[in-house]
Structure 1
Amino acid sequence: MKRILYTCFLMLLALHSCNRPETTVINTVRPDGSVLREIVMKHSEKNFRLSNVQVPYDSTWKITDTLGISPGGDTLWIRKAEKLFRNYRKINESYELDSSFNREEKRRVEFTKRFRWFNTRFRFAEIIDGRIKNGYPVSRFMEKGETEFFFSPESLKEKLLKGPDSLRYKAIEENVNAKTTEWIIRSFIAEWIDVFSMMVKEKTSGAIEPGNLKSKEDSLYRYLDLQNKDTDSLWNSGIILGFLSGEDYASRFRG
């Protein structure tokens, strides 16, 4: 029991503190159905281990490393991986064979070609199933303009940050970064509380209702935000368990 709960809590911390490259995937679909797939990864360090990137690639890809400058003037390592796939099914095969940390992700590529009068319409879609079932939409935390910036391609963001209205967009970027952190943490808290609620209900014979734990979501977020430098000890000492379930019940989950 303790092991499962500890794993759930580490998931929250891992996403908040991950140090993965900023990754952009570009798919160029050709008339014959083949797909030129490009992965562009950017990082402040030369840290492109296969276990550390979001999209699988291997030695069969053409890989190029270069240096660049970030909008803030810092050195930026850039890795570009490129491969021509015969068709979309080959991309799906690469996902099925993925042995990296992304292997638990359920994702697939779909491709359709339809003839309409004198035109041919192509549709290419990459679908990634959500892993967090109890999280929140990012729009709950951001205003419309911030949400649009959040979902904009990185190339467009860079142009906006260097354009004539750069000060405005830098302010938007700062707000988006802060609100993204809150969105991630709150979504994982919601997911963690849901998992914990099911366990607690069984362990306490229903004495603690899931709704009571859910009502503590805001206060738990504020508590973690204040104590974020010492989160491991808060968990290991049982303080967070006590915060959620009360001391009388927290001891049941420590053993």
Structure 2
Amino acid sequence: MKTKLWLVVLVLIVSACKDLKYSYFTRINADGTIFKRVVAEGDSSLIYSSPFSFDVNEGWDLRYDKKVDGEGGDTLYLVIAEKTFANLSDVNRALELEGDSAHKDNIYGELNRKFRGFFSFHQYTETFKQRFPFKHLSVEDYLSTDEYAYFFEGDSAAVINMMETEIKAYEEQGESRFWSYLAGSLGIEFVALANSLASNSQMAALTEKDSLFAMQLFQSSVDNGPDLDEICQLIDQQMHTVWLSEAYTNGYFEPFEKQIDNEVILLGDNVYTAEVQVPGLLYKTNANSIEANSAKWTFRRGSFLYKDYTLSLEYRTINYWTFIIVALVLLILVGSFVLKRKT
């Protein structure tokens, strides 16, 4: 399982030339409906092989196009999916995956509104959920923001003024902490699976000592990858039982083993752009740029491999009905005052 991080970075760079580019456009309409456009752009072999994470057969309008790359002169193919949703709940039902997958975009949106007299203040967030399936630990407790950006987002700003030896040390230290994060995540997941099996089989759960031993086994197996068969045998020896080994033989840990093989080291350097257009005054956002009432982001898939990546913005709309009510009240008060003066 183990791969040097510098090799991971190299694979990310090499893969960039063949991965798809994704563009997400969201328009929040004043009536509460939400328009979505998602565009995948790249090689034709990828475009025509189900490039989207969501089911395009659920009411999406689909069309294909192509264009010439301005830099390389290559022909790029596009597939464009569009749909107008009645509300954000419908959007989430389409884009937030029930069966979470490390190989698909899993997106969840939230829209909160606060009424303040003549104005309403709205807060919108759209979160690209972490692809790494085990969420017991936070990678931010192991890697700094700069380290994460260097290893997974292609940002070399942290090492730009370093000597070669310093860069090597920087990579090795980051690699060591990253592998502690991976091994810890796997160890916690294994203990949870083992205790779930014990509960269902009326067996004694792993004690704190047994759990710590399991965690140590995962940490020490990082060079060659965890051998679940051997780990089960060693923990059985520790507990003087055989039920973990029997569970492994019967295939209980097979899904977990597949996740270790396929969903631990996540590669791919797809470029993403996102734009959110709002029906009011946009006054706060973490976007890279703002144009009128639209916020725009550019990021890479690495931004949400091992942690969530959230687009956020706040905007203000005018409550015209409040003005109408106030005007009517004033007219009534003025009318009442005039009638009293006449009498």
Change over 3 Å in CA distance of 1:91–1:43 after alignment to 2: same
- Give the partner amino acid of 2:28: V
* Higher relative contact order (CA closer than 8 Å, sequence separation 6+): 2
Distance in 1 between residues matched to 2:35 and 2:173, nearest whole Å: 32
Q: What displacement does 1:190 show?
A: 1.4
Change over 3 Å in CA distance of 1:202–1:192 after alignment to 2: same
1:121-132, aligned counterparts within 5 Å? 121-126=121-126
The two structures have a TM-score, normalised by structure 1, of 0.54
- Quote the residue 2:223 is aligned against: 226
Change over 3 Å in CA distance of 1:46–1:146 after alignment to 2: farther
Change over 3 Å in CA distance of 1:86–1:209 after alignment to 2: closer
Q: Secondary structure of the residue that 1:104 maps to in structure 2?
A: coil
Length, aligned pairs only: 209
- Give the partner amino acid of 1:91: V
- Quote the residue 2:246 is aligned against: 252
1:212 aligns with 2:210: yes
- Give the partner amino acid of 2:35: L
Q: What displacement does 1:217 show?
A: 1.2
1:34 aligns with 2:25: no
Once the two structures are superposed, residues 101-143 of structure 1 have per-residue CA deviations (whole angstroms, 9 ceiling, x without a partner) of x432497544344453554423333468899686101211112
Distance in 1 between residues matched to 2:179 and 2:68, nearest whole Å: 28
1:5-16, aligned counterparts within 5 Å? none
Q: What displacement does 1:85 show?
A: 1.7
Change over 3 Å in CA distance of 1:144–1:86 after alignment to 2: closer
Distance in 1 between residues matched to 2:193 and 2:26, nearest whole Å: 37
Indicate if the aligned counterparts of 1:95 and 1:103 stay in contact, CA closer than 8 A. no
Indicate if the aligned counterparts of 2:27 and 2:36 stay in contact, CA closer than 8 A. yes
Distance in 2 between residues matched to 1:93 and 1:202, nearest whole Å: 32
Q: Which runs of 5+ in 2 are unaligned?
A: 1-14, 101-105, 251-343
- Quote the residue 1:99 is aligned against: none
Distance in 2 between residues matched to 1:67 and 1:138, nearest whole Å: 39
More helix by share: 1
Indicate if the aligned counterparts of 2:134 and 2:186 stay in contact, CA closer than 8 A. no
Once the two structures are superposed, residues 41-91 of structure 1 have per-residue CA deviations (whole angstroms, 9 ceiling, x without a partner) of 5789944644x754444462445566879xxx9x9x885644242432431
1:104 aligns with 2:95: no
Change over 3 Å in CA distance of 1:189–1:128 after alignment to 2: farther
Indicate if the aligned counterparts of 1:194 and 1:210 stay in contact, CA closer than 8 A. no
1:242 aligns with 2:237: no
- Quote the residue 1:9 is aligned against: none
Q: CA RMSD in A?
A: 5.1
- Quote the residue 2:147 is aligned against: 146
Q: Which runs of 5+ in 1 are unaligned?
A: 1-18, 97-101
Distance in 1 between residues matched to 2:187 and 2:63, nearest whole Å: 40
Distance in 1 between residues matched to 2:139 and 2:230, nearest whole Å: 29
Change over 3 Å in CA distance of 1:80–1:44 after alignment to 2: closer
- Quote the residue 1:14 is aligned against: none
- Give the partner amino acid of 1:252: E
Distance in 1 between residues matched to 2:246 and 2:115, nearest whole Å: 64
The two structures have a TM-score, normalised by structure 2, of 0.43
